[in-house]
Amino acid sequence: MSFLLPETGLLFWMLLAFGVVFFILYKYAFPAILSSIDERKKFIDDALKNAQEANEKLARIEQQGNALIKAAQEEQARILKEAVSTRDRLLKEAHEKALDESEKIMAETRRLVQQEKENAIREMRTQVAELSLSIAEKVLRKELSGDERQEAFTREMLDEAFEKENSAE
Amino acid sequence: MKVPRHILLLFMMLFAICSSGEAATNESTTKEVDVRKVIFEHVKDSYEWHITTIGEKHISISLPVILYSGNSGWHLFSSSVFHDTEVYNGFTVAHEGDYEGKIVEVDEAGNMSRPALDLSVTKNALAVFVSSLLLVVVMLYVARWYRRHDATKEAPRGFVGIMEMLVTMVLDDVVKPNVGPKYRKYAPYLLTVFFFIFLTNLLGLLPIFPGGANVTGNIAVTLALALCTFIAVNFFGNKEYYKEIFWPDVPTWLKVPVPLMPLIEIFGMFVKPFALTIRLFANILAGHTALLAFVCIIFVTMSVNSYIGSGMTVVSVFFTIFMNCLELLVAFIQAFVFTMLSSVFIGLSQPEHHGKAH
């Protein structure tokens, strides 16, 4: 039973020693230890939170970058497409213009040719008329005796002249 | 193949030792080994610290004896006086009876009585001083590291790292969840308790001086620790706690006219530290006793027969090693449990709102 009876002396020394130990540790050891541990814990928590935030930010930036690249690519494609269409349009326009121009030139040429032709015909006609007049003059001057022959001759001449004109036309 | 050969060698060596020591053992067979006495001498407190005996020479540390007797006042002398004389100044160490191993006052008629106050620095008291000193040195060393380093820049390594791990474990696993929001106020006390018990338990497992004393297996030591927890619980308990003791939330007829529930609650106030005292004391005492019993197997069987004795030595050493490992675990677990129960009791003295804490 002596085990179960606490000795006053030991109880006293134990309380004294433990009290002193507790006081010293309470005063000099634990404040430093606990505050340091708390501080580090807080620091680590903050660091973790910051890291997570940085990660999120990075992800956001990456996303933004990707979006930018995508937009740029789309823009590029659009510009290329536009350029191609512009080229095609310009080519077509140029082609059309050239066609128009050539047609215009052709028309002008045709008109000039026609004019020239008409001029030539008119000139020919006047010449034929003059010729026939001179022929008639000659005939009238030379032979006014044989009427029939003269008439036939005149007719023949005129026919010939007209035939010529027609063939020239 | 290697391992069996080694074991074989070991056995051969053991037998060689046994046969050479047979003469000596035969001589001592006449002396009965009093296991009970051996174990009790080791686990009980004493006025001197017996370290070892070489041949017939006892090597021990004499400790101061401080007594107050109602008849003759204060006395201070070294325990070594009892080496030379049986009775010194009317005091002697009782060898039997209720006061076995204690210093008693002998009057002329030969009646023995305990002195009114025995404040002797006994073996356990010295062991308490040793672990207190060691604990203070260790914790101040650890604290110095924190003062000299920026906690946000580096973490401690080595020993300080282990201490930080223990501190963090006690704080996060024991103090915070059990004590509640005001845990910071009680953390230094609970940490001191944890480290004191843990260190003292470990020192108790060392086989030689300054370890080996059965400190936390002494009821006075555990009672002192439990008293501290009692103070922490009851002196710093809040209003709600005292309301629950004296006017608990039960039907009125349980409180008036016979204060049944308050009586039970008040009884509970004292049962808690009592449970703390007994559980630590009994666990450590049992551990020491079991260890010593296994060691004693060697001597008991040797005194019967040296061959059985040598065989049993192997078994005994094996069990002693096993028990030592177990006691290492127990040293930690008991410190942990004491701290946890203290935290729970402190937590119970801090109920926040009525009906919410329970």
Give the CA dihedral A67, A73, A79, A85, nearest 10 degrees: -120
Structural domain includes residue A1: no
Residue numbers in A near B125 (CB within 8 A): 9-10, 13-14, 17
A151 at interface of B, judged by CB pairs closer than 8 A: no
Question: How high is the pLDDT of residue A144?
Answer: 60
Instruction: Give pLDDT tens digits for B301-347.
Output: 888 888 888 888 888 889 999 999 999 999 999 999 999 999 999 99
Q: Same structural domain for residues B103 and B238? A: no
Helix residue ranges per DSSP H, chain B: 2-20, 22-28, 35-43, 81-84, 123-148, 158-169, 176-179, 183-205, 219-235, 239-246, 260-304, 306-348
Distance, in Å, from the CA atom of B56 to the CA atom of B34, rounded to the nearest integer, reads 18
Identify which has the larger pLDDT, A58 or B92: A58
Which of B118, B145, B180 finishes a domain?
A: B118
B304 and B218 both lie in a single domain? yes
Domains contained in chain B, number: 2
Is residue A168 one of the residues assigned to a domain? Answer: no
Q: Same structural domain for residues B228 and B309?
A: yes
Residues of chain A positioned with their CB less than 8 A from the CB of B118: 7-9
Domain assignment of residue A167, yes or no: no
- Say how far apart CA B100 and CA B96 lie, in whole Å: 4
Residue numbers in B near A45 (CB within 8 A): none
CB-side exposure of B307: number of CA atoms within 13 Å? 0
Residue B23 lies in a domain: no
Whether residues B128 and A14 touch (CB distance < 8 A) is answered with yes
CA distance, residue A76 to nearest chain B CA (Å)? 50
Does residue B262 belong to any structural domain of this protein? Answer: yes
* ipTM value greater than 0.85: no
CB contact at 8 A, B193 and B229: yes
Please tell me if residue A5 touches chain B, with a CB cutoff of 8 Å.
yes
In terms of domains, do B105 and B129 share one?
A: no
The answer to whether residues B158 and B266 belong to one domain is yes
Confidence of residue B17 (pLDDT cuts 50, 70, 90): very low
Q: Do B139 and A10 touch (CB under 8 A)?
A: no
Question: Is this structure's pTM higher than 0.80?
Answer: no
> Is residue A110 in a domain?
yes
* Domain coverage including residue A122: 8-161
**Chain B partners of A9 at a C-beta cutoff of 8 Å?**
66, 117-120, 122, 125
Residues B204, B109, single domain; the answer is: no
Q: B48-54 and B57-62 as β-strands: parallel, antiparallel, unpaired?
A: antiparallel
Q: Which amino acid is at A31?
A: P
Does B189 share its domain with B323? yes
- How far is it, in rounded angstroms, from Cα B169 to Cα B190? 12
Do B101 and B173 lie in a common domain?
no
B158 plus B70 within the same structural domain: no
Residues above pLDDT 70, as percent of chain A: 93
- Pick from A8, A33, A39: CB nearest B143: A33
Classify strands B73-78 and B87-88 as parallel, antiparallel or unpaired: unpaired
How much of chain B exceeds pLDDT 70, in percent? 89
Q: Chain B partners of A5 at a C-beta cutoff of 8 Å?
A: 219
A22 interaction partners in chain B (CB closer than 8 Å): 188-189, 192, 228
Backbone CA torsion sign across B77, B78, B82, B85:
negative
State whether residue B51 is helix, strand or coil: strand
In the listed set B100, B118, B136, which residue is the last one of a domain according to the structure?
B118
Residue A48: predicted pLDDT: 95
Q: Which two tokens stand for residue A167?
A: 């063939």
- Kindly state whether residue A90 falls inside one of the protein's structural domains: yes
Q: Is residue A166 part of a domain?
A: no
Q: Does B63 touch chain A (CB under 8 A)?
A: no
Residues of chain B with C-beta less than 8 angstroms from the C-beta of A21? 132, 135-136, 192, 196
Of A2, A5, A30, the CB nearest to B188: A30
- Residues in B closer than 8 angstroms to A33, CB to CB, are 139, 142-143, 146, 164, 167
For A44, name the nearest residue in chain B, comparing CA atoms only.
B152
Residues spanned by the domain of B71: 64-118
Q: What is the predicted pLDDT for the residue at B62?
A: 85
A22 touches chain B (CB under 8 A): yes
Instruction: Mark whether B103 and B215 lie in a shared domain.
Output: no
Question: Would B308 be classed as within a structural domain?
Answer: yes
Residues 179-198 (B) with a CB less than 8 A from some CB of A: 184, 187-189, 191-192, 196
Residue B69 sits in the same domain as residue B82: yes
A23 touches chain B (CB under 8 A): no
* Residue B357: band (very low, low, confident or very high) from pLDDT cuts 50, 70, 90: very low
pLDDT tens column, B225-235: 999 999 998 88
The predicted-structure confidence for B237-247, as pLDDT tens digits, reads as follows: 888 888 888 88
CA distance to B6, B237, B265, per residue, from B248 (Å):
69, 15, 9
Q: Is residue B47 part of a domain?
A: no
Single-letter residue type at A82: E
Give the count of domains, chain A.
Answer: 1
Q: Which one has a higher pLDDT value, A146 or B46?
A: B46
Residue among B98, B171, B223 minimizing CB distance to A11:
B223
Mean pLDDT, chain B, whole residue set = 83
Residue B78 shares a structural domain with residue B157: no
B132: nearest CB among A20, A29, A32? A20
Most confident of the following: B11-15, B29-33, B296-300 = B296-300
